[in-house]
Structure 1
């Protein structure tokens, strides 16, 4: 009997000196490198993806208080998968199998998963993710479509861990294009926002030595092309970078200090359409009407 790897079937993409491997489970970016230099922190195909590495986070990213929410007057309870904080973390598809929706090419793959309606999330939503290697880097396009007859609450995020190459994270600097930090309680649930001050403003590169992060940021700053960036610059002169266009406006950044399988070997730089608890607060929540679609775009580069 053939036993599938925990990360599922592997889809290998190549363009010039760029190489990416997209895993079936979670439609995860398992590897992405340029010229043999890791941009994404890789994980072995025989591993369960550590700390949501590279996964699609839908139909909500980040945390949901007690796994409970009310939508259109109906109360819902989804499973709590972070018992220490009593939250439902990162949606329903990060460990689901995605299947190809069109022929796979050498440079791109499109995978999709249909969320099965459950008592906690009784909405049939198809999540389709396209990964393509371009001349500039790895580009990701994700579209959710409501296949049901009723409106559905929706949010999406992604969990790439940027690699520092052969360096240690403490030898790197980080730049985050955002002006405001999301304040949280001891369960890492939002309580408000605050402008970044001199001690935590990362719009200019900041050394990571002795600096721990597990924070969300809003009021993102965009370049002339409409992109917001997070850049992890290493002593080798190269920079691992994540960008998002104007379809998303939230960053989550985590240095993974005490996370098994990560232990500060990389930095999670997560583009998201909303912050934690959006299903409860309605903040940045997408109301996906029957038959409607919602698309976001982001990518990774080695600079």
Structure 2
């Protein structure tokens, strides 16, 4: 999903170190530990009011992940290649301040992942208005969404964390108090698993996701155009000029959006298709053939031929937003010390469809009291 929207000066001042506010020392890169065992906690930085931002590191099954309490951000994700050499495959930063200019990097997204047209929707006869942070639309919960909150984090096992956040009624214009729990865990099989759970005290809409930028060749290694992608999706949702779905569920046949057979990301990226020109690349929801499922089922596979790393994404969600890093413009410098340019990372955001609250024939995102929102996405890594 485009990172064009920037945090407002007000939200940055509230949450990230600014001039005149002492910041914590610049932390080192994620430690080589822990060995498989208890999560490791350390301070990553401090907010202007003195609130510490923690970094938690988990290791298991050959993987190592570092997670920030700010936004539940996946700050790094180390994965071995075919020779057993580990590299961080997620884009991010080695200190707190750059996250102010890079909204959504590695973060949990809510209350509503993706775009809501006009920043408004009607639920049970009442219109709700949301912050406009993407032209005339609301994107990823507005400019002060879940990616900007400090989550409560606690260990949940040898290689697992539980993150909690309560979004009060009226937060960013959304009705109902929403209690959210997200579990991050690693498995012996080389899987990074994300489990989402939410409840509400009044009817509302919910669409949670994770906004990790992946580069399986390693963070800072260059573009992802040679990565090979397959997605089990025979349809996609075309968008209008402001990247809001038109409502059509269009077949991918004969279009650049046909990833049913594995192909390089760059094969059709410059094909001149009107949809790609409109979004300056891929920034589209692919409609998974499996639909919404009780347990995670395969949605996509991403492969880097050079390193041999392969990531298989399974999910309970009915869609995946494929974003090809179109708006990375070289102004952000990552953990490697290298600038992020267009196409240096991609996102596969498992979620319900964009603008579902205004599209009655899309899968519903309504959550009511007494119901429990559940969603799971699993990233399984291997190397060949």
Q: Give the alignment's TM-score, normalised by structure 1.
A: 0.88
Query: 1: CA distance between counterparts of 2:195 and 2:140?
Result: 18
Instruction: Return the match for 2:243 from 163, 169, 188.
Output: 188
- For residue 209 of structure 1, report the CA deviation from its aligned partner: 2.6
Instruction: Return the match for 1:98 from 147, 151, 157.
Output: 151
Based on CA coordinates, which of the two structures has the bigger radius of gyration? Answer: 2
Query: 2: CA distance between counterparts of 1:190 and 1:90?
Result: 15
Aligned residue for 2:225, secondary structure, equals: helix
Shift of the 142–164 alpha-carbon distance from structure 1 to 2, 3 Å rule, reads same
- For residue 184 of structure 1, report the CA deviation from its aligned partner: 0.5
**Does the 8 Å CA contact 1:238/1:302 hold for their aligned counterparts?**
no
Aligned residue for 1:127, secondary structure, equals: strand
Aligned residue for 1:37? 87
Q: As a proportion of its length, which structure holds more strand?
A: 1
Aligned residue for 2:288, secondary structure, equals: strand
Query: 2: CA distance between counterparts of 1:249 and 1:63?
Result: 16
1:188-267 alignment runs, 5 A limit: 188-191=243-246, 192-200=248-256, 201-209=258-266, 211=269, 212-221=281-290, 227-245=297-315, 247-260=316-329, 261=332, 262=340, 263-267=342-346
Instruction: Give the count of matched residue pairs.
Output: 295
1:281 aligns with 2:333: no
- For residue 228 of structure 1, report the CA deviation from its aligned partner: 2.2
Aligned residue for 1:48? 99
Aligned residue for 1:162, secondary structure, equals: coil
Q: Deviations over 1:172-226 (max 9, x none)?
A: 222122111111101000111211123421111112236131111103359xx96
Shift of the 44–229 alpha-carbon distance from structure 1 to 2, 3 Å rule, reads farther
Query: 1: CA distance between counterparts of 2:152 and 2:208?
Result: 19
Aligned residue for 2:229? 174
1:138 aligns with 2:192: yes
1:25-174 alignment runs, 5 A limit: 25-35=70-80, 36-46=86-96, 47-48=98-99, 50-83=102-135, 86-91=136-141, 92-100=145-153, 102-103=154-155, 105-118=157-170, 120-136=173-189, 137-146=191-200, 148=201, 150-165=202-217, 166=221, 168-174=223-229
Query: 1: CA distance between counterparts of 2:161 and 2:239?
Result: 37
Query: 1: CA distance between counterparts of 2:90 and 2:263?
Result: 20
Q: Deviations over 1:81-111 (max 9, x none)?
A: 113xx111012312111112x4454411101
Structure 1 unmatched ranges of 5 or more:
none
Q: Give the alignment's TM-score, normalised by structure 2.
A: 0.71
Q: As a proportion of its length, which structure holds more helix?
A: 2
Structure 2 unmatched ranges of 5 or more:
1-21, 25-44, 81-85, 270-280, 333-339
